[in-house]
Amino acid sequence: MTIEVKNLTKKFGDFAALDNVDLKVADGELLALLGPSGSGKTTLLRIIAGLDWPDSGEVSFGGENVLSRSAGERHVGFVFQHYALFRHMTVFENVAFGLRVQPRAIRKDEAAIRARVKELLDLVQLDWLSDRYPNQLSGGQRQRIALARALAIEPRILLLDEPFGALDAKVRKELRQWLRSLHQEIHVTSIFVTHDQEEALEVANRVVVMDKGRIEQVGTPGEVYDNPATAFVHGFIGESIVLPVEVRDGGVQLGGKALNIAANGYAPGAAKLFIRRHDMQIGPAGSGALEGSVQHVRTFGPIQRAEVALCGAAEKTVIEIDAPRDRELHAGDAVSLQPRRYRIFAAQE
């Protein structure tokens, strides 16, 4: 089932949770909505699910506008951040709930319900827990039951709100891979919300990066990482070194001193230079775009991290650079830095 969102706007008082958002999701995709808290990603998810309503805009599933449909009529499986399992029901009854509340005309008989619940519990590999109550389960188990419950109604779309947010790091990792393989198995169009870039890049086919109610970029994990469309995306995804620079005369200046890198046609004026930390190469003094002196070196594992104070910057600027262990670095060394790749964005926010 495809999903299309058009011109969606939602305000809470003066605060625009969503500001004219457009998004198309292809059938069978596994899409991540990634952004900091307050970026509007959860609001977008809730509006798609029918748990919240926009001030204006359109949401359609497979070409059919669904905004006037209730949450139940949309056949959307929703997995809540805190699972929202019904505490007075066993695992079995939780999963069966969506089947039991169907209109009488299309409701399955008891045997069919039992078979379907069994099938789903097998799918999430927790059939042995069917008689337990939710509070007798671990966080990861609850998460999988919540997913099984959402799948019970054979949803056209699966929506997950911070699906791993409440789990500890180890369980998170396991569940990420599990969710990916589950999605390959059932292949239902899925959207999940996360503020964790690693999670989004690792699990999703495509990532939607949001900030302040707007979509900043939509792309594959590789695209948003390698070709960030905006300063926000560059800063939010991956570790970036950001330097305040000025584009002038086709060159880039830091503190009035020209750097040995091309402006690549960026408009003149105040700008920000973004460089991924691993894209910064360290070499002997005088060999690169930026000059600096090593202040401090720490080593961990295969790399060493050097704090380098840049020469020429108006204020004292210290950046952290990663270098291979075989390169000898000591505090006080004069070094030169050369970005392998870099991006320049206009300075204004």
Partner 1 sequence: MGLTLTWLSVIILIPLAGLFLKTFDLSLEQFWGIVTSRRTLNALKISFGLSFAAACVNLVMGTIVVWALVRYRFPGRRLFDAIVDIPFALPTAVAGVALTQLFAQKGWLGAPLAELGIKVAFTPIGIFIAMIFIGIPFVVRTVQPVLLDLDVEIEEAAASLGANRWHTVFRVILPSLIPALLTGFALAFARAVGEYGSVIFIAGNLPNVSEIAPLLIVIRLSEFRYADATAIAVVMLVASFLIIFAVNRLQRWAQTRLPAH
Partner 2 sequence: MNQPQAFTYTPPRDDVHTEPGAIRFVIVALAVLFLLIFVVLPLVVVFASAFSKGVMAYVAALGEPEALSAIRLTLLVAAISVSLNLVSGVIAAWAIAKFDFAGKTFLITLIDLPFSVSPVISGLVFVLLFGAQGFFGPWLQAHDIRILFALPGIALATIFVTFPFVARALIPLMQEQGTQEEEAAISLGASGLQTFFRVTLPNIKWGLLYGVLLCNARAMGEFGAVSVVSGHIRGETNTMPLLVEILYNEYQFVASFAIASLLAMLALITLVAKTVLERRLDEGQVVSDD
> Which parts of this chain interact with partner 2 (CB under 8 A)?
6-7, 20, 50-51, 53-57, 67-68, 70-71
Q: Which stretch binds partner 1 (CB under 8 A): 95-103, 188-196, 234-242, 298-306?
A: 95-103
Nearer to partner 2, 68 or 135 (CB): 68
Nearer to partner 2, 51 or 229 (CB): 51
Nearer to partner 1, 160 or 273 (CB): 160
Strands of the 280-284 sheet, one edge to the other? 280-284, 334-339, 290-300, 303-310, 318-324
Nearer to partner 1, 159 or 231 (CB): 159
Q: Is 228 in the site for partner 1 (CB under 8 A)?
A: no
CB of 212 to partner 1, least distance (A): 25
From 37, 68, 135, 181, residue interacting with partner 1 (rule: CB under 8 A): 135
Q: Is 97 in the site for partner 1 (CB under 8 A)?
A: yes
Nearer to partner 1, 87 or 316 (CB): 87
Q: Is 263 in the site for partner 1 (CB under 8 A)?
A: no
The binding site for partner 1 (CB under 8 A) comprises: 49-51, 70-78, 80-82, 84-89, 97-98, 101-102, 133, 135, 146, 149-150, 152-153
